[in-house]
Amino acid sequence: MIAWLGPIGDVLSSSTMYQSMMRFAIVLAFAAVGEWVAERAGTLNISVEGMLIGGAFTGGVVFTSTDNVMLGLIAGAAGGAVIAFVQANLSHRLITDQFVVGLTLNLLVMGLAFFLDDHLELNTSVATVWEIPLLSDFPLIGRALFGQPWPMYLIVPVVPLAWWLVFRTRWGLEVRSSGENPQAADVSGIRVNLRRRQAIVFAGLCSGLGGAVLVLGQISVSRWESGHVGLKGIVAIAAVIFGGWTLRGTLLGCLLFGYFFALQQTLPVLGYRINSQLASALPYAVALAVTAVFATRTRQPRSLAQPFVRGLT
């Protein structure tokens, strides 16, 4: 028992751990917040994975050619949006099964990214780290919260924006109605499938931005490889479930999963030998366990993952 306290203590007192955790959590959060909006509209997009990769890739490409981080970020958001656009139109205009489309899009994007990887040398940036004076000197978590590369801070406006969109605008009201009772919404004059498509594109923008932030906000890796994204899109969906389809819960979920991703990276640094495969599996196993515990307790949007066609039984 005492033997465990050592490692746990080390982990809890390592500021590298917290920094790493925040980085993972923030990237997850971009995708998760976007998907949260999309799921409130009643859609379930496993192509979030593809949106992340697409954003990472486009961001990297544009950065490599322009050397401008800002442009890279914008390009990333656009890249994610393009993929979201395809998903949205295939699933909510042509009513093709959204899981099939999502899966295929993921494979397509991964194929494209790996294919083009060889042809384009992507540099990743070491984006300027913004260290907020005084606050970043706070012990343990100071640098984690206030000493990140600047693209990471973009999450700070994105979250309240998403909240405001969903709860304080007419668009958000219509999105929520489309997710709970699309028949009622339709009959009341709301264009259900349009709102769903728009929500998915929003998810694409957020996830694409997240992918670009991942690429451009990195500290350690110099050459980008598309494999770095590693199924984080799916974990983002798990975070939404964990959070009970609330924004606060989703963010908590991102922190939780971020922690386990960070654990895998940090333990070796701290000098602990842990089997790399088992450590890699940990975040996903935790995600599994977590969804198992939390899925029943919560109110999922009544029409989640059910396509809507007017007049069909």
Partner 1 sequence: MNEATVDDPGGDTARVAPLVELQQVTKRYGAVVACRDVDLTLRAGEVHGVLGENGAGKSTLMKMLIGLVQPDEGRILVEGSPRSIQDPQVASALGVGMVHQHFSLVEPLTVWENVLLGETVRLDQARARRLVAEIGEHYGLQVDPDARIVDLSAGLRQRVELIKCLRRNPRIVILDEPTSVLTPAESEQLFHTLREVVAREGRAVALVSHKLAEILHASDVVTIMRQGRVVEHRPTGDATAASLARAMVGREVSLRGEAAALGALDDLDTPVAEGAQGVDQRPVMLRLSEVTLRRHGVAVLDGLSLEVRAGEVLGIAGVEGNGQRELGDLLSSLLPLDAGTVEVDGGRVRCGRAGALARAGVAVIPEDRHDSGCVLDMSVAENLVLDRSHLVARSGVIDRAALRRRALELMAEFEILAAGPDAPLRSLSGGNQQRVVLARELSHRPKVLVAAQPTRGLDVGAIEYMSARIRRAADDGIAVVLISTELEEILHLSDRIVVMSRGSVIGGMTRAEATAERLGLLLGGVAA
Partner 2 sequence: MSESVAEDRRRDLITVIALYALCIGVALAASAVLVAVTGGPWRSVVSALIDGSLRKPGRWGQTLSEAAPLLIVALGAIIAGRSGLVNIGQEGQVLVGAACMALVATRGSGPLTLLVALLVGALAGAVWSAIAAVLKFGRKVPEVITTLLLVFVASQVTGYLLTRQSLLLDRDPNRPNRTQTSGQLDPETRLPVIRVFGNEFPISVVIGVLLAIGCAFVLNRMVWGFKLRMVGQNPRTAQRAGVSVVVAGSLALAVGGGLAGLTGGLMLAGGVANYRYTTGFSSNVGWEGLLVALVARNRPLVAIPIAVIFGALRTGSGFLASTGVGREIVDIVRALLVLALLAPSAFMFLRERRRASTAATSRT
If binding is defined by CB under 8 A, does position 231 make contact with partner 2? yes
Strand partners, 76: none
Residue type present at position 189: G
Taking residues 89 to 128 in sequence order and writing x for each that binds partner 1 by CB under 8 A, - otherwise, the string is: ----------------------------------------
Q: Which of residues 157-196 bind partner 1 (CB under 8 A)?
A: 168-170, 173-174, 176-177, 180-181, 183-191
Which of 56, 110, 203, 216 forms a contact with partner 2 (CB under 8 A)?
110
Q: Coil, strand, or helix at residue 129?
A: strand
Output the smallest distance, CB 84 to partner 1, in A: 25
Output the smallest distance, CB 313 to partner 1, in A: 5
Compute CA distances 225 → 53, 87, 107, 123, 289, whole Å: 10, 24, 16, 10, 29
Tokens representing residue 128 in the block: 């300027």
DSSP 46: T
Are the C-beta atoms of residues 20 and 269 closer than 8 Å to each other?
no
How far, in Å, CA of 40 to CA of 266, rounded?
A: 35
Output the smallest distance, CB 221 to partner 1, in A: 44
Compute CA distances 241 → 41, 236, 262, 274, 297, whole Å: 14, 9, 21, 29, 10
If binding is defined by CB under 8 A, does position 291 make contact with partner 2? yes
If binding is defined by CB under 8 A, does position 99 make contact with partner 2? yes
If binding is defined by CB under 8 A, does position 173 make contact with partner 2? no
Which of 12, 68, 107, 270 forms a contact with partner 2 (CB under 8 A)?
107
If binding is defined by CB under 8 A, does position 299 make contact with partner 2? no
Compute CA distances 95 → 90, 114, 268, whole Å: 6, 29, 47
Q: Give whichever of 58 and 300 is closer to partner 1, judged by the CB atom.
A: 300
If binding is defined by CB under 8 A, does position 293 make contact with partner 2? yes
DSSP 138: S
- Give the CB-side neighbour count of residue 272, counting CA atoms within 13 A: 18
Nearest to 22 by CA among 140, 189, 169, 121: 140
DSSP 232-259: HHHHHHHHHHHTTT-HHHHHHHHHHHHH
Output the smallest distance, CB 243 to partner 1, in A: 17
DSSP strand E in the chain: where?
none
Output the smallest distance, CB 108 to partner 2, in A: 4
If binding is defined by CB under 8 A, does position 118 make contact with partner 2? yes
Output the smallest distance, CB 167 to partner 2, in A: 25
Please count the residues of the chain. Answer: 313
- Applying CB under 8 A, the residues found at the interface with partner 2 are 44, 46, 90, 94-97, 99-101, 103-105, 107-108, 110-112, 114-116, 118-119, 230-231, 234-235, 237-238, 241, 275, 277-278, 280-281, 284-285, 287-288, 291-293, 295-296, 305, 309, 311-313
- Applying CB under 8 A, the residues found at the interface with partner 1 are 168-170, 173-174, 176-177, 180-181, 183-191, 299, 302, 310-311, 313
